[in-house]
Amino acid sequence: MKLFIQIPCYNEEKTLPYVIKDLPRTIEGIEQIHTLIIDDGSTDKTFETACRLGVDYIIKHNKNLGLSKSYINGLDACLFFGADLIVNLDGDNQYRAQDIPEMVKTLISEKADIVIGCRDIKNHKEFSFFKKCLQIIGSKFVSAISGLNVPDVTSGFRVITRDVAIRLFSMNKFSYTLETLIQAGRNDLLVRTLQIGVNPQTRKSRLARSNLDFVFKQLKVIFISYLHYAPMTFFMALSIMCFLISFISAARIIYFLFFLPPVLLKFKIGTGILFLFSSLAALIFLSIGLISSVLSSQRFVIYDMRNRMRLAEIRSGIKPESLKIFISDILFSWQPNKNTGYKILEH
């Protein structure tokens, strides 16, 4: 069984040596362990550092494409090189690489599709009370709409199988963590979690300017992902809400027209306008929901075609399009100051 450890990096020349140093060299049940760095347009010496450390494969982006694109490009490369299992680890040394063997063991023993390394949010010393609340509430919300039970939905420390890697994709540039979880839940994948430890913080997160900015960006991802997978549920809820408003408006109009003394009977113009617009809105939302549901159902056909094409490309040995991949002259030699030579993978 071949395991790939992929590490998306953006300006991580200082922390990358610590990440590589702690990676496991052997894991029970795994025959080969490969390392892959995704240099997402770094402006420092991340690429040179990765070369000096002797990692097996390096993907180099000419510009910063974002975390989601880096993650998916890494999966494509891992699949091309024959990965059976793929570990995703952050380049800032936040997560403990020592937990990888236990996560792999959990995935194999429980025959899971995905294992997520979850931090102990409540007792995380470097999280403020406000951030802890946001993490806990956000995790419960995403778990509810995805049908999963994941206490740390923003964790990027994950192990996935080859089949899952073929099926995953991301529609946003911000972060893959929530979107892929919603995909996993909606596609009935078996997801397990494992509590993991963390290393001392080396720098502040670059994903967002502040906690509120992070929340707004994640809410956008959740909204788009949920709308993609369950449009009928979303628009039906809006339609029902508008219908209730129109029902209450109609009841008020009827009351003022038929249930008061003749001298007080009158038509409530404002209520009538509210009734008209809420009724139209209810019908519009219902129509949009029905049309979106039909269009959304086509995704199963599109996903199936996409998965078959990716599988055919992998079996045919077709290099992932547009990826600039460097391969070490000597594999499995990654360690501090190894400094092996590299060659670029041609088409």
Q: 339 pLDDT band (50/70/90 cuts)?
A: low
Question: What six digits make up the tokens of 311?
Answer: 């599988």
> Within a domain: residue 302?
no
pLDDT in tens, 15-38: 999 999 999 999 998 999 999 999
Strands 57-61 and 325-328 come out as antiparallel
Asked if residues 85 and 104 have their Cβ atoms less than 8 Å apart, the reply is: yes
| Pair 119, 155: CB distance under 8 Å | yes
Provide the pairing of β-strand 191-195 with 114-118: parallel
Q: Among 9-18, 23-32, 263-272, name the one with the lowest average pLDDT.
A: 263-272
Within-domain flag for 132: yes
Asked whether residue 144 is assigned to any structural domain, the reply reads yes
The residue with tokens 């269009």 is 295
Give dist(CA 72, CA 148) in Å, integer.
Answer: 22
Return mean pLDDT, the chain: 88
Collapse the DSSP code of 38 into the 3-class scheme (helix H, G, I; strand E, B; otherwise coil) and give the result: strand
**Using one digit for the tens of pLDDT, what is the confidence trace for 97-118?**
999 999 999 999 999 999 999 9
Across residues 231-250, what is the average pLDDT? 93
Claim to verify: residue 240 and residue 338 sit in the same structural domain? no
- State whether 216 and 279 are in the same domain: no
SS3 249: helix
Alpha-carbon gap, residue 35 to 3, rounded angstroms: 9
pLDDT tens per residue, range 56-71: 999 999 999 988 899 9
Distances in whole angstroms, Cα of residue 46 to Cα of each of 15, 64, 68, 97, 179: 9, 13, 19, 19, 27
pLDDT interval class at 294 (50, 70, 90): confident
pLDDT value of position 97: 92
User: What residues does 32 pair with on adjacent strands?
Assistant: 2
Q: Are residues 39 and 176 in the same domain?
A: yes
Q: Considering the domain boundaries, does residue 115 fall inside one?
A: yes
Residues 154 and 174 placed together within one structural domain of the fold: yes
Judgement on whether residues 84 and 159 belong to the same structural domain of the protein: yes
Whether residue 17 is contained in a domain is answered as yes
Residues 6+ apart with CB under 8 A from 339: 51, 52, 54
CATH code, 145: 3.90.550.10
- Listed as own residue / partner, the contacts of 102-108 with beta carbons closer than 8 Å and 24 or more positions apart are 102/194, 103/157, 103/159, 103/194, 103/196, 104/3, 104/27, 104/29, 104/30, 104/159, 105/27, 105/28, 105/29, 106/159, 106/192, 106/194, 107/159, 107/161, 107/192, 108/29
270 in the same domain as 235: yes
- What integer pLDDT is reported at residue 63 of this predicted model? 92
pLDDT digits (tens, 9 = 90+) for 181-226: 888 888 889 999 999 988 887 777 766 667 677 778 778 877 887 7
* CB 345, CB 59: distance < 8 Å: no
Inside any domain, residue 315? yes
Look-up of token digits 């990027």: 156
Tell me which of 258, 274, 297 is where a domain ends.
297
292 and 329 housed in the same domain: no
Q: Phi-psi region for residue 194, left (φ > 0), alpha (ψ -120 to 50) or beta? A: beta
| Greater model confidence, 175 or 254 | 254
Helix and strand totals (H; E) in the chain? 11, 9
Q: pTM of the full predicted structure?
A: 0.83
The answer to whether residue 174 is domain-embedded is yes
pLDDT confidence of 338, banded at 50, 70, 90?
A: low
Is 288 a member of any domain?
Answer: yes
Is 202 in the same domain as 75? yes
Q: Give the domain range for residue 247.
A: 231-297
Q: Same domain for 130 and 236?
A: no
| Number of domains into which the chain is organized | 2
Same-domain pairing of 195 and 152 = yes
Q: Is 187 left (phi over 0), alpha (psi -120 to 50) or beta?
A: alpha
Which residue, 239, 246, 218, 244, is CA-closest to 292?
Answer: 239
Q: Please give the Cα distance from 271 to 295 (Å, whole number).
A: 36
- What percent of the chain has pLDDT above 90? 47
Same domain, 83 and 167: yes
Task: For residues 84 and 203, state if they share a domain.
Answer: yes
